[in-house]
Amino acid sequence: MTITDLMKLADSYMKEGRLDMAMELWNKCIQTNSEYGPAFWNIYSALKSKGNIGQAKDALMKWMNCPLTPNTLDFVARARQDLDLFNKQMNPPEAK
């Protein structure tokens, strides 16, 4: 299977609510190409929607280290905003 095929199949699993299967396929994409940003972005989005902020942040950081493409440039501002939000949630200010 090509990465494109794996991504399409993972998307169909996500639509069915089968996150575990989708995650497995996204990870296969990353095993094939460790700089495949779309897989990291999908992992990030899925984990964020499930409230798993720590792992979502890790996936987002990996996505941010992938090469930028014309398709990913539009996501950079959102990624930075989400990263700032994650940092605030994970490191709340100390009570005085």
96: confidence class by pLDDT, cuts 50, 70, 90: low
Domains in the chain with CATH codes: 3-90 (1.25.40.10)
pLDDT digits (tens, 9 = 90+) for 2-40: 999 999 999 999 999 999 999 999 999 999 999 999 999
What CA dihedral angle connects 29, 32, 37 and 41, to 10 degrees? Answer: 30
What pTM value is reported for the model? 0.84
